[in-house]
Amino acid sequence: MKTQFIILSTLLFTSLGFNLQERVITGSVTSAEDGSAIPGVNVVLKGSKSGVTTDVHGKYSIHVPSSGGILVFSFVGYTTQEIKIGTRGIIDVQLALDVTSLSEVVVTGYGRYKRAEKSGVAAEYASPMLYAPNDYRKPDWNTEEYDGINENIFHDALRNPLSTFSIDVDAASYSNMRRFLNNGQRPPKDAVRIEELINYFDYDYNQPKDEHPFNIITEISSAPWNKQHKLVHIGLQGKRIATENLPASNLVFLIDVSGSMDEPNKLPLLKSSFKMLVNELRPQDYVSIVVYAGAAGVVLEPTSGNEKKKIIEALDRLEAGGSTAGGAGIKLAYAMAHKHFKQGGNNRVILATDGDFNIGESSNAAMEQLIEKEKQGGVFLTILGYGMGNYKDSKMKTLSMKGNGNYAYIDNITEAKKVLVNEFGGTLFTIAKDVKLQVEFNPAKVKAYRLIGYENRLLKNEDFNNDKKDAGDLGSGHTVTALYEIIPVGVDSEFFKIDPLKYQTTKIDPSASKSKELMTVKFRYKQPSSETSKLIVHPMIDNQLALEQTSDNFRWSASVAAFGMLLRESEYIKSYSYDDVAQLAQGARGQDKEGYRIEFINMVKSFGGVVAKR
């Protein structure tokens, strides 16, 4: 009996040892069409829960058993490939476009998530999350919430020459839109905020050289989607401050660990995201961790960035369960931030959640009042959104606007790296607050104008000079871009027809007709610690370039705006196609060091192919 036990134990140990032996397979995934890298491709060991996604350069690394197996490569818009591993250590793959299977999974609006029957593994692993295992299934319900957007219309430059709005550096709408498309869905129209799509990308603007913390860039050409109209590009470049020169940070991680966070693309992805941020911290930076579910509590007192292991261990211990006491959690987080406040430093609460507050101060109004009050003490707010199905975009957007902060949606680990590593300074350190723009159009040159996007950031004209009126904030190194579509004087457009006034006339100043200025751009901003704004005035000369002679900045922003208008089914872009968008973007890609632009181009091509086949 003893001998048999030893033999069985030896066999069991040998079996377990054999199964535990692994090796690493690396490689890259590119498009068979043009050889470009494809980020977000799911690489799965068939028959297991082991899987990864390709990074922004299309590269991957996956652990597999020494005995080998089969790797499955899948991405929405491309034909799925299954490749036997054999003895190879490097497996490079080219994926071909496949719009046939895609047409079966595209749905519109807030409808149920559904999977294609013919696309096999591609449907099951369509989302480039941290990685969705075999037993994860998308919910067949949807309670996501988005604020309504009424697209900006053309305004008469003679009778209404002023356009005023708050800047917006958030980019949550882009990554959320990408999540829908990568899941084979058309995003709800109200989920597409065009200004956030445009501002997802960095632009090659010159750094500021004077006393102001940002530089202003303007450019004009014809509108790609309507040759009779003009397109004006306005860019802001925030002063870039080296990470080592940033003030010390007092960060409070406020983490939602309620039951709704118990999904692969929520708490597990959240933990991985915060670990990346922790690795960027310096010894002078301090982190506290507050969690909330049925109740709120402190799980980590202020800890130096020097003790990364201690912070990461605290993150690893977090588990999801219970209801969502969001109000209590926010109060406790702000209390921690004030208790350990760093004078002259970066004091900030970083809230990570799916936005589903259902206990305590759950109304937007109550949350807004709480956060507006707390920001007066110098503690700003950053919000990171996760998940799908019950995602509350409208609530998180509102809270970030009221908290002098920013808002990002993390749909995969690559996006986490972009927000918390690549854009560390811009995301977490504000160099200018309450930044407002006001444009005055010259009615001798401009018949009508419309601001593209920023619908929920519009301000009254009198708000521009009112320092009590809250506006957007600009982070270190951030760029902000805004576009105006213009109908020149003398052009008849189907989009703008107003009868002459019967009881009054409005005359143009003779000097306006002689001026070469198309418009004047005015900016107001405050230093982070000040409540008094400063003014910058930037006249723009009507120096129109041919579209092909414009900068990459101009053509790229125009292509992204056009894509957003197509997704929103805008009336102003009837004759423009997804192929047109892809072609314009391809010629404006520039250096694209991180691969974000090629990802956009591939996404446009894939979705455009789907629409063409429907």
**pLDDT tens by residue, 164-200:** 999 988 899 999 999 999 888 899 999 999 999 999 9
Please tell me the predicted confidence (pLDDT) of residue 108.
34
Asked which of 138-152, 224-238, 558-572 is least confident by mean pLDDT, the reply is 138-152
Q: What is the 3-state secondary structure (H, E, C) of 151-187?
A: CCCCEECCCCCEEEEECCCCCHHHHHHHHHHHCCCCC
Q: What string of DSSP letters covers 17-28?
A: HHHH-EEEEEEE
Please tell me the predicted confidence (pLDDT) of residue 614.
59
Asked which of 83-87, 130-134, 438-442, 564-568 is least confident by mean pLDDT, the reply is 130-134
Please tell me the predicted confidence (pLDDT) of residue 130.
34
Please tell me the predicted confidence (pLDDT) of residue 389.
74
Mean pLDDT of 109-119: 32
- 3-state DSSP call for residue 492? coil
Please tell me the predicted confidence (pLDDT) of residue 36.
79
Q: Could you tell me if 9 and 3 are in contact, meaning their C-beta atoms sit under 8 angstroms apart?
A: no
Mean pLDDT of 230-255: 91
Mean pLDDT of 107-113: 33
Return left, alpha or beta for 68; rule: phi > 0 is left, psi -120 to 50 is alpha, else beta.
left
Q: Which residue, among 478, 497, 499, 475, has the nearest Cα to 487 in the 3D structure? A: 497
Q: Could you tell me if 594 and 81 are in contact, meaning their C-beta atoms sit under 8 angstroms apart?
A: no
Q: How far apart are CA 395 and CA 406, in angstroms?
A: 13
- Name the packing angle between helices 364-375 and 393-402 (round to 10°): 30
Please tell me the predicted confidence (pLDDT) of residue 250.
95
Q: Could you tell me if 80 and 122 are in contact, meaning their C-beta atoms sit under 8 angstroms apart?
A: yes
Please tell me the predicted confidence (pLDDT) of residue 8.
44
| Residue partners of 94: CB distance under 8 A and separation at least 6 | 29, 30, 31, 32, 35
To the nearest whole number, what is the mean pLDDT of the chain? 84
Identify the bridge partners of residue 297 per DSSP, sorted by sequence position. 291
Return left, alpha or beta for 486; rule: phi > 0 is left, psi -120 to 50 is alpha, else beta.
beta
Please tell me the predicted confidence (pLDDT) of residue 549.
97
Please tell me the predicted confidence (pLDDT) of residue 98.
65
Please tell me the predicted confidence (pLDDT) of residue 132.
36
Asked which of 129-133, 253-257, 373-377 is least confident by mean pLDDT, the reply is 129-133
Which two structure tokens, joined as six digits, stand for 95?
């994926």
Please tell me the predicted confidence (pLDDT) of residue 481.
97
Q: Positive or negative, the Cα torsion across 463, 469, 471, 473?
A: positive
Measuring CA to CA, how many Å separate 495 from each of 54, 570, 571? 44, 12, 9
Q: How far apart are CA 527 and CA 440, in angstroms?
A: 25
Asked which of 43-52, 224-233, 336-345, 497-506 is least confident by mean pLDDT, the reply is 43-52
Token pair 């003009």 is found at 230
Mean pLDDT of 327-336: 85
Please tell me the predicted confidence (pLDDT) of residue 322.
67
Asked which of 181-190, 288-297, 399-408, 548-557 is least confident by mean pLDDT, the reply is 399-408
Which helix (H) or strand (E) covers residue 115, if one does?
A: none
Please tell me the predicted confidence (pLDDT) of residue 265.
83
| Domains of the chain, first to last | 23-124 (2.60.40.1120), 155-241+431-495+516-576 (2.60.40.1230), 243-428 (3.40.50.410)
Please tell me the predicted confidence (pLDDT) of residue 400.
81
Characterize the bridge pairing of strands 81-84 and 70-74.
Answer: antiparallel
Question: Is pLDDT above 50 for 9?
Answer: no
**In the structure, what pLDDT confidence band is assigned to residue 145 with cuts at 50, 70 and 90?**
confident
Token pair 């068979």 is found at 32
Q: What is the 3-state secondary structure (H, E, C) of 69-99?
A: CEEEEECCCECCEEEECCCCCECCEEECECH
Question: pLDDT of 273-289, one tens digit each?
Answer: 999 999 999 999 999 99
Cα distance between the two ends of the chain: 69
Q: What is the CA radius of gyration of the chain?
A: 26
Please tell me the predicted confidence (pLDDT) of residue 357.
61
Q: Could you tell me if 529 and 154 are in contact, meaning their C-beta atoms sit under 8 angstroms apart?
A: no
Question: Is pLDDT above 70 for 5?
Answer: no
Question: Is pLDDT above 70 for 452?
Answer: yes
Q: How far apart are CA 555 and CA 584, in angstroms?
A: 7
Question: Is pLDDT above 80 for 119?
Answer: no
* Maximum separation of any 2 CA atoms in the chain, in Å: 110
How many residues are present in the chain? Answer: 614
| Amino acid in the structure at residue 425 | G
Question: Is pLDDT above 70 for 334?
Answer: yes
Task: State the number of CA atoms in the 13 A half-sphere of 385 facing the CB.
Answer: 30
Q: How far apart are CA 194 and CA 225, in angstroms?
A: 15
**In the structure, what pLDDT confidence band is assigned to residue 292 with cuts at 50, 70 and 90?**
confident
Q: Could you tell me if 536 and 212 are in contact, meaning their C-beta atoms sit under 8 angstroms apart?
A: yes
Q: Which residue, among 201, 203, 200, has the nearest Cα to 171 in the 3D structure? A: 200
**In the structure, what pLDDT confidence band is assigned to residue 384 with cuts at 50, 70 and 90?**
very high
What are the backbone dihedrals phi and psi of residue 582, each rounded to the nearest 5 degrees, phi first? -60, -40
Q: Could you tell me if 243 and 387 are in contact, meaning their C-beta atoms sit under 8 angstroms apart?
A: no
Please tell me the predicted confidence (pLDDT) of residue 372.
79
Which two structure tokens, joined as six digits, stand for 229?
């109209």
Q: How far apart are CA 225 and CA 266, in angstroms?
A: 39
Q: What percent of the chain has pLDDT over 70?
A: 85
Q: Could you tell me if 352 and 292 are in contact, meaning their C-beta atoms sit under 8 angstroms apart?
A: no
